[in-house]
Structure 1
Amino acid sequence: MPINFSLEPFARISDVFCETGTYHGNAVIKALEAGFKKIATVEISRINLDIAKKRIAEHPLSKEAHIDYVLGDAEKNIGRLVDFAKLNEVMYPIFWLDAHTHVFKDGTLTDGNPCPLVFEIAAINLAFNGKAVLLIDDMRIVGAKGAPPHGVVGRVQAARNALFDPNALISMIKPGWGKFVDLLTILKLAMEVPDVSFRLLEGIEPLDVLCVYPNELHESLFGQNDE
């Protein structure tokens, strides 16, 4: 998060938006505003999920949509999102993959595989064989133990903290996915299905979201932006 590109083209080709990593509900709200009517989202922190539910319930469009909330680990619950998409019999479900290794303020600690992306992508590909659309956030930290704050101001402050307060610097570094997986691994896994293409989209930083989509959707999703 955040999603710095329009979800409306995705909502035109699908009514189902599935998310790992609800956090405070920003992506669900953006999905509602784009026109999605069937949404499922997974969050490991109860406090985060409660905050998200409250924010989303206050949005007027939430009353026009069906939203499933799942409390738990993304890797262990990706099957519930897959089942949700299959139950709704949509041809091209949209999956926003934004779960992270993290220690939350309520003390919740993610455990198990530090990179749930590998299991998530494998499960989605097995279920849909290239007919799902994958939106994978935070490409800049794939294969990294951590990433500095985004933006010039954040990085200047991080440099200052490195000199005067190393502990404050550590608190500013976002957890990464770990060295055992890199961008090429994720890309290869995501494209181990027939007839798909990929594109990098805008996230919290430029080109930070990997989109893998069926070739037949290229014109619908991106044709208007191509020369």
Structure 2
Amino acid sequence: MEKQIITKLHNLEAKENIKILLAVESGSRAWGFASPDSDYDVRFIYVRPQEEYLRLEKKRDVIELPIEEELDINGWDLQKTLRLLHKSNPTLWEWVYSPIIYLETEFLETCQNEMNAYFSVKRSLYHYLSMAEKNYREYLRKDDVRMKKYFYVLRPILACRWLLNRKTPPPVLFTELLAAELPTPLETEVYSLLELKQHSPEVKIIPRIDKLNAYLDISVAEIKKELQRMDESPVADWKELNAWFLRELNKN
């Protein structure tokens, strides 16, 4: 599959007249809890030739390929990427630190060296808490639930715990979050659930786990309280990001 993905990305470069700066796996495969039938969520950052950014007409800043069998491929323009970095968008950190890389340039090293200057604990907390609450509210209240949704709630909750305890971007791998933040009384349930997830189809239905739901309820309330106590994050300067953007343009 990796060869197929890389071929598709190179074909996309030629078709769209772009340069892909970074392409990685996102979602459950990058997080380490993919099911046997999980999609490949390929995400990439690209840049266009300089003259494309000087046109009066607007051009879309995302490229999305139609979902094809188990392949979901889409990417962000460099401008969009750096604007989201200015907002401390946590998704960008997950792409840059993904353990599965399909294409890379020196842009990756630059990101890893420079982007933490724009990191905001509070904005990251809002992102992960919103993700957890939405999935919890919509999928985990019934008697029988989709197993995978536990991971789409538990992972962002543990990411919030990491953020509150360490004030740094949370790791991408779910097992690292578990080792660092999962309470010991929940280990049996969660590690058993993880093994089941890795060997079951995406649509697997299981009975609600009340012990785990109780922990999620408590966590959401605690994280909200901590957020209310936090000061607003300072607004980052645009100067370095503008210079970064121009440097990337001059390379292409």
Q: So what's the TM-score if we normalise by structure 2?
A: 0.27
The structure in which a higher percent of residues are helix is 2
